[in-house]
């Protein structure tokens, strides 16, 4: 896959890069429309998005408030065109076909901030350089080092993430302090120690041009190697050096020790995996230029540091190849089988091992029972073989009803003898193929998934069924606490109904009922990965049962990697939260590392959901979240800013500007996202009925999913108090319960999570709730506007490929943050009727509404939810085969302006829009984001698809005719919301 360029960089740029087809790096090769909350594939909103149906959100089945909108236009479109159920492109397996797809698919479009000249030049005219800077052969090292010093950046595609091993700036000067020899204490192919040796060889070569040679002397007979790096386990070291006496620190499972003294380096693990972790750690230090002498020991705080992939065996359905995955298709599965080519699975294992992850659950928690077929078990064993050299064990998600669905039994009752036998048999068969399998992950009795509750059995009965089958194999059963009833919660009739209460209620009385090899995996908050939640009270209820915290690296509710949101500060806040169990310090981190309740099984699960895209997650900057997840799972005391800085150095460079800019963007990103999505603990406010992406505050209420806000014309928030509400506050230990029960002591950022208040309620800040909403949305989106500019200051300091890729997303995010701002503000303005004290909401002085322009071939369209369009209306072409023109005479004084156009990029076609000033083309763009951004695709004109393009510094003359020509494509009717003529520097 890597195209190797064995020439100096100048030649590389000329021959390998320019003139070749640019790398598209698109994340989607076919489009699917995801259902919303929950995973019940044939469920109510899952079914609601099946074609052919009128392309109107009304039939989503839930009321969106008082407004009613028609759908004549889209009905007409539907009648005119045969709508494909999906846009489908070739489906051959593997990298080759994906390469072909890259060529067929639209390439990265010009950034919305691009100048007219570059847009007119067209995509193919852009210089895309496809070489990577890893593993340059020795002959090119000198040249590369010089160029690295000169600060020139080589294009990269992200595949190697933070393990690039690209030349360090002052490699020549540091080389004298590095080892030249290698002693690997286990050279068995496939052993983690052997992998460590290979990694050290590759790493020191890439970073410094040092070629490690096998050192003479293995220590036996006093013949000690000099200037060598020795890597292995403590036991292997002692065995190879029986006469040597050195003091070794105490190591626990997976721990490691590193001693550096000049060129002599000793890396010893408690086990082979630990030795590999040590090698990666050493490499990360030297990659950051640290070659001084030191000695350190590092032990993980928790034994379970797992990754969950929500990969489906089959593409399609409402969730595609990877449920809530935004980086392309599964690296494991293809067309119901395990991929023949597991190269990417191996590369993934390498990345994960380098951050201390020790197991990966490869298939979706909404598990497919057919994976139990012998040939698929064989395939799983192939994945395990690819993982093993990296010390990664394979975990497997089970479908609770498999005895019935796959085994043809009449029941899946966990206490039934035939069911017990079925699972023992399955488990034995799996372990016969994968003797070191980590265990099972079970989602049961949740969101339509089968489980023990079907037979009135307890969750413990369910978990123990698998735990017992696993015991003789030393496997563990990870049982998810994400159990709730999404069908019968009634918001209207039951003030006390609360999904947040479900986990504690279901686990009540079970703490001493679980087998010792059961671990309960608990999402950080009581609902579902929202931008702000209190920690789950269940952490304080399980004292005898091991608990793991479930974090989500994939940004399901938090921007789906199309928005930068650095999550480590949020995770850190959760891990540091003190639950005060029995009035004693009880940090969540101490509970999930087993310290607080002396549990042996404990740890972390990160839902990661990488895909085949070379960026893994769909966005380069999102990878800091994966890195940070591993680091925090190793040690919760790690500092998010320090983790980010380390990640930046390894992923991009140590240039102070690069470090500063990435820190400025990343550390501001979670507060900004919270500000422009959902504040004061009201939840994220995205569309929970479709895709979980763009704004749709109305989707939270009026359905049984239980993510309610209870917003009406006067009041908002969930009353979770004991005295008057759902009682959820009372699920916390007394000190915390008292904090949340009392509105005066509840922190503002969780106010609406725990209390139902008037919009006029005054916060501790002195602002009313409604004014806080307005201000926060303006402030948050203003912060997002700074991101593209900050990034642009790094031009030339980041390789062009990643620079452009990131810039495209940041520009998109800046535009979409305005969509968020206006949608949420207008929604609550409309509900409450309370004006913004600063007069901004509803007043947009630079805007020209498309519906107020002169229209030819375009017609006005009522958008729903109404707040997804400025003025509740957009325009769409009158047919799906004819152009539309919207024009107006410019009224502003002549001068230079930024022209912003808000349009909708639906995933049902690739319309083209052209912007003219007096017949002179200002810009032209295509609606093809569905192939590029990776976020959940939407067929609707709504908050998911609303998008902005900006043309900067355009000369506008008073009286000129401003015109947009929209050319529809497929079923996308070139929808247009509004234009803004903004004085330079103003964003609105
Ligand atoms: C969320 C998510 C689902 C997922 C579920 C889970 O509800 O939207 O896709 O299946 O969580 O964690 O099981």
Separation CA 915–CA 386 (nearest Å) = 52
Determine the atom of ligand 1 nearest the C-alpha atom of 324. 9
Distances (CA, A) of 455 to 401, 414, 450, 462, 893: 11, 8, 10, 10, 74
Residues in the chain: 988
**Catalytically annotated residue among 29, 40, 98, 447:** 447
User: Is the shortest distance between the CB of 443 and ligand 1 below 6 Å?
Assistant: yes
Q: Which of 367, 371, 430 lies closest to 400, judged by CA?
A: 367
Per residue in 88-141, pLDDT tens?
A: 333 344 433 333 332 222 222 222 222 222 222 222 222 222 222 223 333 333
pLDDT in tens, 691-731: 999 999 999 999 999 999 999 999 999 999 999 999 999 99
**53 or 694: whose pLDDT is higher?**
694
Q: Same structural domain for residues 711 and 784?
A: yes
Question: 744 in a domain, yes or no?
Answer: no
Tell the burial category of 765 from Cβ atoms under 10 Å away from its Cβ (0-12, 13-18, 19+): exposed
Q: What is the domain count for the chain?
A: 4
- Ligand 1 contact, 34 CB (< 6 A): no
563 and 465 share one domain: yes
Contact yes or no for 257/246 (Cβ under 8 A)? no
The pLDDT of residue 897 is 98
* Longest CA span, the chain: 93
CA of 530 to the centre of ligand 1 (A): 12
Same domain for 283 and 324?
no
**Residues 268 and 285 grouped into a single domain:** yes
CA geometry: angle at 961 spanning 956 and 962, to 5°?
70
User: Are 514 and 603 members of one domain?
Assistant: yes
> What would the mean pLDDT of 907-922 be, rounded to a whole number?
97
Beta bridge partners of 923: 915
Both tokens of 768, joined, read 């009313």
Per-residue confidence (pLDDT) for residue 908, from 0 to 100: 96
CA–CA separation, 364 and 321 (whole Å): 10
Domain-ending residue, one of 298, 319, 354: 298
Distance CA 932, CA 328 (A): 10
Taking the CA of residue 323 as reference, the ligand 1 atom at the shortest distance is 9
Residue pointed to by tokens 């000369």: 955
Residue 713 Cα to ligand 1 middle (Å) = 31
Instruction: Please pick, among 34, 528, 719, 801, the residue that the annotation labels catalytic.
Output: 528
Atom of ligand 1 nearest to the CA of 38: 7
User: Could you give the CA distance from residue 725 to residue 769 in angstroms, rounded to a whole number?
Assistant: 20
CA of 773 to the centre of ligand 1 (A): 28
Phi/psi region, residue 953 (left: phi>0; alpha: psi -120 to 50; beta: rest), is left
Cα dihedral 483, 486, 492, 493, rounded to 10, equals -70
Q: Is the pLDDT of residue 625 over 50?
A: yes
If one counts every other C-beta atom within 10 angstroms of the C-beta of residue 527, the result is 25
Query: Which CATH number covers residue 586?
Result: 3.20.20.80
Q: Report d(CA 891, CA 646) in Å as an integer.
A: 51
Cα dihedral across residues 696, 700, 703, 707: positive or negative: positive
Residue nearest to atom 2 of ligand 1 (CA): 38
Q: Which letter does DSSP use for residue 17 in this model?
A: I
Q: Is residue 378 part of a domain?
A: yes
For residue 215, the model assigns a pLDDT of 76
| Predicted confidence (pLDDT) per residue in 379-419, tens digit | 999 999 999 999 999 999 999 999 999 999 999 999 999 99
**What is the Rg, in whole angstroms, of the alpha carbon atoms belonging to the chain?**
28
Backbone phi, psi, residue 519, to 5° = -125, 130
Domain boundary among 265, 298, 331: 298
pLDDT of 564 higher than 60 = yes
**Residue after which a domain boundary falls, among 266, 298, 330:** 298
Contact at 8 Å (CB) between 27 and 933?
A: yes
CA distance 297 to 283: 15
User: Is residue 54 within 8 Å of 78, Cβ to Cβ?
Assistant: yes
Name the closest-CA residue to atom 11, ligand 1.
38
Ligand 1 neighbourhood includes 38 CB (under 6 angstroms):
yes
Q: Is residue 143 part of a domain?
A: no
Q: Determine the Cα angle at 622 with ends 617 and 628, to 5°.
A: 110
Per the domain annotation, does 741 fall within a domain? Answer: no
Q: Is 822 a catalytic residue?
A: no
SS3 assignment for 238-281 = HHHCCCCCCCCCCCCCCCEEEEEECCEEEEEECCHHHHHHHHHH
Question: Do residue 811 and residue 859 come from a single domain?
Answer: no
Q: Which of 370, 459, 485 is nearest to 38 (CA)?
A: 485
Rounded to an integer, the average pLDDT of 556-564 is 98
Residue 81 pLDDT level (bands cut at 50, 70, 90) = very low
Residue 337: the pLDDT is 96
User: Quick check: CB of 164 below 6 Å from ligand 1?
Assistant: no
pLDDT at 135: 30
Burial class for 170, CB neighbours closer than 10 Å (0-12, 13-18, 19+): middle
- To test ligand 1's pocket by mutation, which of 482, 485, 549, 689 has the most ligand atoms within 8 angstroms of CB? 482
Q: Which residue has the higher pLDDT, 487 or 848?
A: 848
- Decide if 492 is inside a domain: yes
Hey, whose CA ends up nearest to atom 1 of ligand 1?
A: 38
Instruction: Round to whole Å and give the CA distance between 316 and 330.
Output: 12
Q: How far apart are CA 268 and CA 234, in angstroms?
A: 5
Four-CA torsion 463, 465, 470, 475, nearest 10 degrees: 0
Sign of CA dihedral 281, 282, 283, 286: positive
Q: Which two tokens stand for residue 557?
A: 């509710």
600-624 average pLDDT score = 98
**CATH number of the domain enclosing 823:** 3.90.1330.10
pLDDT tens sequence across 732-784: 999 999 999 999 999 999 999 999 999 999 999 999 999 999 999 999 999 99
CATH at residue 179 = 3.30.379.10
Q: Are 314 and 333 in contact (CB under 8 A)?
A: yes
Q: What is the mean pLDDT of residues 322-335?
A: 97
447 is catalytic: yes
Listed residue (954, 970, 967, 981) closest to 913, CA to CA: 967
Mean pLDDT of the chain: 87
CA angle 360, 309, 595 (to 5 degrees): 55
User: Which pLDDT belongs to residue 9?
Assistant: 28
214 shares its domain with 349: no
**pLDDT grade, residue 318 (50/70/90)?**
confident
Nearest-angstrom CA–CA distance, 945 and 910: 12
pLDDT score for 214: 83
Q: Which of 469-473, 489-493, 802-806, 969-973 has the lowest mean pLDDT?
A: 489-493
Predicted confidence band of residue 220 (pLDDT cuts 50, 70, 90): low
Arithmetic mean of pLDDT, 823-852: 98
801 Cβ contact list (under 8 Å, min separation 6): 23, 25, 128, 129, 130, 155, 156, 157
User: Using CA atoms, how far apart are residues 438 and 122, in angstroms rounded to an integer?
Assistant: 51
**How far from the centroid of its chain's Cα atoms is residue 337's Cα?**
25
* pTM score of the predicted model: 0.89
- Kindly state whether residues 813 and 781 are assigned to the same domain: yes
Tell me the three state secondary structure of residue 121: helix
Structure token digits, residue 444: 């049961």
- Give the pLDDT of residue 218: 53
- The closest residue, in CA terms, to atom 12 on ligand 1 is 482
Angle formed at CA 950 by CA 948 and CA 954, multiple of 5 degrees: 155
Does 294 share its domain with 308? no
Q: In the predicted model, what is the mean pLDDT of residues 582-591?
A: 98
Q: Does the residue 910 lie in any domain?
A: yes
Residue 620 counted as domain residue: yes
Closest CA relative to residue 265, chosen from 177, 198, 170: 177
My answer on whether 321 and 271 are in the same domain is no
| CA–CA separation, 386 and 383 (whole Å) | 5
How far is the C-alpha of 816 from the C-alpha of 695, rounded, in Å? 10
Which among 437, 392, 473, 430 has a CA at the least distance from the CA of 190?
A: 392
Residue 30 annotated in active site: no
- The whole-number pLDDT of residue 319 equals 87
Closest to 364 in 3D by CA, of 45, 705, 607, 91: 607
Q: For position 29, what pLDDT does the model report? A: 67
Per annotation, catalytic residue among 40, 556, 775, 930: 556
Take residue 267 and report the two structure tokens written for it: 């890396």
pLDDT of residue 27: 72
CB atoms within 10 A of CB 460: 23
d(CA 47, CA 220): 69
Interaxial angle between packed helices 640-651 and 623-634, expressed in degrees from 0 to 180 and rounded to the nearest 10: 130
Residue 585 lies in domain: 304-651
Closest C-alpha residue for ligand 1 atom 7: 38
Query: Does residue 684 lie within any of the structural domains?
Result: no
Statement: residue 922 has pLDDT above 70: yes
What is the structure's pLDDT at 216?
Answer: 61
205 and 347 in a single domain? The answer is no
Residue 163 sits at φ, ψ, to 5 deg, of -105, 45
Residues 625-631: what's their mean pLDDT? 99
Looking at the structure, do residues 897 and 863 belong to the same domain, yes or no?
Answer: yes
- SS3 of residue 326 by DSSP: coil
Question: If pLDDT is split at 50, 70 and 90, which confidence band does 316 have?
Answer: confident
């Amino acid at each position: 896959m890597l195209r190797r360029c064995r020439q100096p960089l100048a030649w590389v740029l000329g021959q390998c890069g320019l003139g070749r087809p640019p790398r598209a790096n698109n994340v989607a090769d076919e489009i699917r429309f995801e259902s919303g909350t929950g995973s019940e594939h044939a469920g109510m909103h899952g079914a609601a998005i099946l074609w052919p149906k009128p392309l109107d959100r009304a039939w989503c089945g839930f009321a969106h408030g008082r407004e009613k909108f028609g759908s004549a236009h889209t009905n007409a479109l539907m009648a005119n065109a045969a709508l494909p159920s999906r846009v489908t492109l070739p489906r051959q397996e593997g990298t080759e076909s994906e390469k072909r797809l890259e060529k067929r698919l639209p390439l990265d479009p010009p950034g919305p901030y691009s100048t007219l000249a570059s847009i007119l030049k067209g995509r193919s005219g852009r210089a895309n350089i496809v070489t990577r800077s890893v593993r340059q052969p020795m002959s090119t090292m000198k040249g590369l080092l010089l160029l690295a010093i000169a600060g020139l950046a080589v294009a990269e595609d992200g595949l190697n993430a933070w393990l690039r091993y690209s030349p360090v700036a002052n490699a020549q000067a540091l080389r004298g302090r590095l080892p030249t020899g290698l002693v690997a204490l286990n050279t068995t192919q496939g052993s983690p120690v052997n992998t460590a040796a290979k990694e050290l060889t590759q790493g020191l070569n890439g970073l410094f041009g040092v070629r490690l040679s096998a050192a003479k002397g293995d220590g036996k007979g006093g013949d000690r190697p000099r200037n060598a790096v020795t890597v292995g386990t403590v036991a292997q070291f002692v065995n190879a050096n029986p006469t040597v006496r050195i003091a070794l620190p105490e190591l626990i499972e997976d721990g490691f020790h590193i001693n550096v003294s000049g060129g002599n380096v000793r890396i010893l693990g408690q086990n082979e995996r630990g030795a590999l972790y040590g090698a990666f750690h050493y490499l990360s230090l030297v990659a950051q230029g640290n070659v001084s002498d030191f000695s350190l020991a590092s032990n993980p705080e928790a034994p379970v540091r797992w990754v969950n992939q929500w990969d489906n065996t089959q593409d399609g359905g409402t969730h595609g190849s990877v449920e809530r995955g935004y980086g392309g298709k599964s690296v494991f599965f293809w067309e119901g089988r395990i991929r023949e080519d597991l190269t990417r699975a191996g590369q993934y294992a390498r990345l994960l091992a380098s951050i201390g992850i020790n197991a990966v659950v490869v298939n979706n928690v909404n598990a497919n029972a057919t994976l139990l077929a012998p040939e698929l078990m064989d395939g799983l064993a192939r994945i395990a073989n690819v993982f093993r050299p990296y010390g990664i064990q394979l975990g497997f998600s089970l479908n609770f009803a498999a005895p019935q669905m796959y085994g043809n039994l009449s029941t899946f009752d966990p206490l039934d003898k035939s069911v017990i036998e079925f699972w023992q048999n399955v488990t034995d068969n799996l372990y016969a193929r994968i003797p070191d399998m980590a265990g099972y992950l079970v989602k049961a009795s949740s969101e339509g998934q089968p489980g023990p509750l079907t037979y009135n059995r307890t969750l413990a009965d369910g978990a123990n069924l698998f735990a017992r089958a696993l015991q003789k194999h030393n496997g563990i059963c990870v049982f998810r606490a994400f159990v709730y009833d999404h069908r019968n919660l009634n918001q209207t009739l039951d003030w006390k109904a609360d999904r947040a209460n479900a986990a504690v209620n279901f686990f009540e009385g079970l703490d001493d009922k679980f087998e010792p090899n059961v671990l309960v995996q608990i999402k950080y908050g009581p609902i579902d990965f929202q931008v702000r939640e209190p920690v789950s009270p269940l952490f304080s209820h399980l004292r005898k049962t091991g608990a793991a915290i479930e974090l989500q690296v994939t940004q399901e509710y938090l921007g789906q990697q199309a928005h930068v949101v650095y999550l480590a500060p949020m995770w850190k806040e959760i891990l540091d939260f003190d639950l005060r169990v029995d009035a004693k310090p009880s940090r969540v981190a101490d509970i999930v590392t087993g310290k607080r309740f002396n549990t042996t099984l404990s740890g972390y699960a990160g839902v990661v959901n990488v895909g085949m895209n070379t960026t893994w997650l769909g966005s380069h900057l999102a990878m800091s979240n994966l890195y940070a997840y591993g680091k925090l799972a190793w040690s919760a005391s790690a500092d998010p800013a320090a983790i980010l800085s380390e990640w930046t150095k390894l992923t991009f460079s140590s240039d102070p500007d690069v470090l500063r800019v990435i820190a400025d963007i990343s550390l501001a990103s979670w507060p900004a996202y919270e500000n422009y999505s959902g504040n004061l603990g009201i939840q994220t406010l995205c569309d929970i009925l479709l895709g979980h992406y763009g704004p749709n505050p109305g989707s939270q209420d009026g359905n049984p999913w239980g993510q309610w806000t209870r917003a009406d014309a006067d009041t908002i928030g969930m009353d979770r108090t004991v005295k008057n509400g759902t009682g959820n506050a009372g699920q916390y230990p007394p000190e915390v319960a008292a904090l949340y029960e009392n509105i005066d002591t509840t922190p503002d950022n969780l106010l609406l999570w725990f209390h139902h208040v008037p919009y006029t309620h005054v916060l501790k800040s002195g602002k009313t709730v409604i004014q806080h909403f307005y201000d926060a949305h303006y402030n948050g989106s203003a912060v997002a506007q700074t991101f593209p500019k900050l990034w642009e200051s790094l031009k030339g300091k980041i390789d062009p490929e990643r620079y452009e890729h990131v810039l495209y997303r940041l520009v998109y995010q800046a535009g979409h943050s305005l969509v968020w701002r206006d949608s949420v503000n207008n929604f609550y303005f409309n509900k409450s009727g309370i004006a913004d004290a600063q007069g901004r909401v509803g007043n947009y002085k630079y805007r020209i509404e498309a519906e107020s322009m002169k229209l030819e071939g375009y017609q006005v369209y009522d958008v729903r939810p109404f707040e997804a369009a400025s003025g509740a209306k957009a325009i769409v072409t009158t047919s799906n085969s004819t152009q539309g023109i919207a024009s107006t005479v410019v009224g502003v004084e002549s001068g230079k302006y930024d022209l912003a156009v808000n349009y909708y990029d639906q995933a049902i076609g690739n319309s083209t829009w052209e912007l003219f000033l007096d017949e002179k083309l200002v810009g032209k763009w295509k609606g093809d984001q569905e192939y590029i951004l990776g976020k959940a695709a939407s067929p609707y004109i709504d908050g998911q698809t609303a998008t902005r393009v900006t043309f900067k510094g355009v000369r506008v003359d008073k009286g000129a005719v401003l015109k947009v020509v929209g050319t529809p494509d497929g079923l996308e009717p070139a929808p247009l919301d509004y234009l803004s003529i903004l004085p330079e520097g103003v964003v609105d």
